[in-house]
């Protein structure tokens, strides 16, 4: 049996996360911005909490919660304007979610998502996020965890590439 753990991220996890992010980019093309700015990507402005998935002592997954006013504004706008009138100050953005390909299928992704949902409930916050439409596995996971689609749009990366995306809310 493989020992797994979901726990709060520590500063000492960052080197392993940079390596894991590169692995995910190589296998899945995530993030679409690339990995040249991995350190900034992993610790965005407005970061409130971060968790990692650990398998047999190796960090293999990651997820963060960002303050609504600092996170990706597209899902926040979808929630506040087109959703159900949610308040930005009670909204957080879940982002930077990935699990290395070699560790998938073991419930680690769901464990990371569940950690964010539990945190949001404890802090009376609403979670929003964006998911690129080609990330079908992620969308299925979010929907099984209780997220629902509230809109769609286009994500444009720094290179000008355009990606259809869906906006989700939890709860």
pLDDT tens, 157-167? 888 999 999 98
| Of residues 153 and 69, more confidently modeled | 153
Closest alpha carbon to 78 in 148, 162, 138: 148
pLDDT confidence tier of residue 79, bands split at 50, 70 and 90: low
Q: Domains of the chain: which residue ranges?
A: 4-170
Give strand pairing partners of 91. 126
* Contact yes or no for 54/5 (Cβ under 8 A): yes
pLDDT tens-place string over residues 125-134: 888 888 999 9
How large is the angle between the packed helices 136-144 and 108-122, nearest 10 degrees? Answer: 50
The two tokens of residue 131 are 């998911």
Closest alpha carbon to 128 in 62, 160, 80, 61: 80
CATH number (3.40.47.10, 3.20.20.70, 3.50.50.60, 3.40.630.30) of 4-170 reads 3.40.630.30
Instruction: Give the chain's mean pLDDT.
Output: 88
pLDDT tens-place string over residues 14-54: 999 999 999 999 998 889 887 888 988 999 989 999 999 99
Closest alpha carbon to 4 in 96, 145, 103, 144: 103
Q: Name the least confident of 37-41, 73-77, 81-85.
A: 81-85
pLDDT higher than 70, residue 149 = yes
């Amino acid at each position: 049996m493989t020992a797994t753990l979901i726990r709060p991220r520590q500063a000492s996890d960052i080197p392993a996360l940079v390596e894991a992010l590169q692995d995910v980019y190589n296998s899945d093309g995530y993030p679409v911005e690339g990995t040249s700015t991995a350190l900034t990507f992993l610790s965005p402005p407005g970061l409130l909490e971060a968790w990692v998935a650990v398998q047999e002592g190796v960090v293999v997954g990651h997820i963060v919660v960002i303050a609504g006013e600092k996170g990706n504004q597209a899902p926040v706008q979808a929630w506040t304007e087109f959703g159900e009138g949610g308040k930005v100050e009670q909204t957080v953005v879940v982002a930077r979610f990935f699990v290395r390909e070699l560790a998938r299928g073991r419930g680690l992704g769901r464990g990371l998502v569940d950690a964010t949902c539990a945190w949001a409930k404890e802090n009376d916050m609403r979670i929003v996020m964006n998911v690129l439409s080609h990330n079908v596995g992620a969308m299925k996971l979010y929907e099984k965890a209780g997220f629902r689609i509230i809109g769609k749009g286009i994500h444009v990366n720094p290179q000008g590439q355009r990606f259809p995306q869906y906006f989700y809310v939890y709860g």
